[in-house]
Amino acid sequence: LKETMVEAASQENGLNEQIVRQLEYYFGNINLPRDKFLQEKMKADEGWIPIPVMITFNRLKSLCEDAEKIADAVAAIPSDILQLSEDKLKIRRNISNALPENSLEYWQKIKNRTVYMKGFPVDTKLDDIMQYAAQFGNTENVLMRRIKTERTFKGSCFVSYKTREEAEIAQKSDVKFREVELTKMMQDDYWTMKQKETKEAKAAAQAAKRAKAEEEQAVKKAPKPVHFEKGLVLAISNLPEDTTITKIKELLAAHGPVGYVVHEAGSKEAQIRFHGEADGAKKAWEKANESCKLKMGENELVGRVLEGEEEEKYWSDFNEQKARRNESSRGGRGGRGGRGGRGGKNFRGGKRRNDGGDGGQPKKKVFAD
């Protein structure tokens, strides 16, 4: 019977300790400055809060819902934070222990004696963490960190101690939590680490964004696959030096539908592209040489149909110049093209000549149409 009574007394004392520690948290230096509800209630009656109001707080309610037992606990356990009214119906923060000034300097001091602890199982309860943290010193606050959307414990917390020395003891201790080794660091060191990680993550994101933009730009600039009808381009040589695009077109137009002529002034060579189906250049050249060798003036012309890489290069050059011509025709704020401008190279009034007349020949190789 005596052992039973001792055990019951021990359990009651343990509960009283829990009740007082929880009330000290509500009226403590860390929670009270941020608890708008308590602050409003305290204005009504010189800081006194009826015990039934305190029982509406979930954690205290889970410990005890009996106002009389809560009053007895406060009376039984010494506390420099709590004060019980004479009628044992109300509690307030001890007026002889004034709340520190709510300033940036004050919160910095709190940070200086706060330890970040990580590695707790996600099903760990607050009481378990408080019990673990208390072995290193007097704790003022334990903040369990939670996932915002789900409000579930994420396995880490901030533990504030009354002194920097106690916090350092906790941080340096290798005592495990239920055989689990915890990661610990001072809160200032933790935030420094997180700021560095955030900065590095931001820099990495920016680098990735730049790399993606460069990759997209490279894809835009990369040579596009050339799609064309094969056998439409005829290369001829041994032209008279004074020949013109117009003369070349007139000579070959009788043998096939000439589309474009590439010729450089003074050159004895030219490339002629025909309209129509595949192998149009071969058919036109064969037709031109049916009765006799094709000549221009006294020069007997030599012809061959472009094939393979040479043919692909012709079409690639043609497409590039076409793209530049389209870009030039759109003009720009700093250029001379566009509305009211002078146009780009190989243009007259924004449109290129089709006939390649006998006038002054261009000095650069061009596509004439």
- Domain match, 73 and 174 both: no
d(CA 21, CA 343): 85
Q: What is the CATH number of the domain that holds 16?
A: 1.10.10.10
Q: Please check whether residue 47 is in contact with residue 53, taking contact to mean a CB–CB distance below 8 angstroms.
A: no
- Domain match, 109 and 77 both: no
At 229 the pLDDT is: 80
d(CA 218, CA 207): 16
From 69, 93, 117, give the residue that closes a domain: 93
Q: Which tokens hold the place of 353?
A: 């000549």
Does any domain span residue 46? yes
- Domain match, 361 and 283 both: yes
- Domain match, 253 and 331 both: yes
- Domain match, 142 and 89 both: no
| Furthest CA-CA distance within the chain | 137
| Phi, psi of 252, rounded to the nearest 5 degrees | -95, -15
- Domain match, 137 and 44 both: no
- Domain match, 258 and 331 both: yes
Please list, residue by residue across 270-292, b when 16 or more beta carbons sit within 10 angstroms of its beta carbon and e when fewer do: bbbbbeeeeebbbbbbeebeeee
- Domain match, 189 and 254 both: no
Does any domain span residue 309? yes
Asked whether the whole model's pTM tops 0.85, one would answer no
What is the Cα 69 distance to its own chain's centre?
Answer: 55
Rg (Cα) of the chain, in Å, rounded? Answer: 45
Does any domain span residue 10? yes
Intervals of the chain under pLDDT 70: 1-10, 222-226, 330-369
The string of pLDDT tens digits covering residues 166-190 is 999 999 999 999 999 999 999 999 9
- Domain match, 79 and 126 both: no
Does any domain span residue 281? yes
Q: What is the CATH number of the domain that holds 156?
A: 3.30.70.330
Does any domain span residue 286? yes
From 194, 222, 253, give the residue that closes a domain: 194
Residues 6+ apart with CB under 8 A from 174: 181
* Cα angle for residues 356, 362, 368 (degrees, 5° grid): 35
The string of pLDDT tens digits covering residues 343-357 is 333 433 333 334 443
Tell me which residue range forms the domain holding 162: 104-194
- Domain match, 318 and 238 both: yes
At 132 the pLDDT is: 96
Neighbours of 225 (CB within 10 A): 7
Look at the chain and report how many structural domains it folds into.
3
Does any domain span residue 179? yes
From 177, 194, 211, give the residue that closes a domain: 194
Does any domain span residue 215? no
Q: Which tokens hold the place of 5?
A: 């009574």
At 359 the pLDDT is: 41
Does any domain span residue 11? yes
d(CA 93, CA 240): 110
- Domain match, 356 and 238 both: yes
